[in-house]
Amino acid sequence: QVLSLVIPSQLQRVTHQALHRLFHTRSCLFVVLHVALQAAVFGEYTWEVFVYCWELQFHLLLLLLPYLLLAGNLGCFLLCSRANPGTVTKSNAASLVKVYAYDGVLFQRGLMCPTCTVEKPARSKHCSVCRTCVHRFDHHCVWVNNCIGASNAGVFLLYLLSLTATAGAVAAVTAAFLIQVLLLSNIMHGTYLDAQGQEHPVEIPFLVQHLFLTFPRIVFMLGFVLLLTLILGGYCSFSLYLALTNQTTNEWCKSRRFGGSPQLPSQPHHRPLVYKNIYSKGIWRNLKEIFNPPTVLERKKK
């Protein structure tokens, strides 16, 4: 009985350590997984879809569009993963404090980072993974193995948009190929016999089954890419919303977690603060700030 209690405890501890090493330390595992998935999808697309579509005389620009989007996505990926997200250091902390005002709710003046021992500028946060404070901290992205902050938020948004567009383009070309195959086979106007020998007109489930039996890998790839497009599209929409309203993921989560307004010790308990986004300056100025963040000259080290 004691052994039965020890084994689950050890298993739980090992699982916790594995998850901590996976998500709370710098690791290239998700980067490798990300590249491997793209390689697998484009390998299948090139080997089968591109060749079949070329034989069916699809327009060359349509066939090359996924590759062009992939090139742009890889460029954004490299820039986003290798860029300095906006590290707060002892030499620039005093200057970065002047960039954004403190809202008095999520960000308060005079707080020190216990790890970096620097004053925390408004909209900054200490990242336990990168072990540094990041200005205008959004989140730590395991897929690019880097923090998303003031200096690379615009590139990250372009990375998301290009990744979604790439998946959508692959899905569109693949779906167009399968539809063209159905049209050329004229199977859509046919009939089939069921197990009881009754004749039925061809319906969508039958067409999907026929395509899966004929092109199993292509249909599986299409399903995967469609699901990926929907997930990325939802996340892209959320990221665009944050960009248009000049919010970060960190700020959005904090405002929801504290019910919109954490209570300050100096405030009476019967007068709770109401959180209000003071950083939004209108759609166009918000977008401009994402791609051209406000900066100040760092003070030279004496």
Dump pLDDT digits (tens) for 69-115: 999 999 999 999 999 999 999 999 999 999 999 988 889 998 999 99
- In terms of DSSP H, where are the helices of 186-264? 204-214, 216-244, 249-257
pLDDT at 105: 86
Q: What is the pLDDT of residues 47-77, one digit of tens each?
A: 999 999 999 999 999 999 999 999 999 999 9
**Which member of 53, 80, 127, 141 is catalytic?**
141
Q: Work out the mean pLDDT of the chain and round it to a whole number.
A: 85
pLDDT in tens, 164-221: 999 999 999 999 999 998 888 877 666 666 666 666 676 777 778 888 888 899 999 9
Give the model's pLDDT for residue 20.
Answer: 58
For the beta carbon of residue 158, count every other beta carbon within 10 angstroms.
19
Prediction pTM value? 0.83
- 141 tagged catalytic: yes
What is the model's pLDDT at position 273? 61
Helix, strand, coil percentages for the chain (3-state, nearest 5): 55, 5, 35
- Give Cα separations from 150 to 57, 87, 105, 166 (angstroms): 46, 9, 20, 25
Report the amino acid identity of residue 135. H
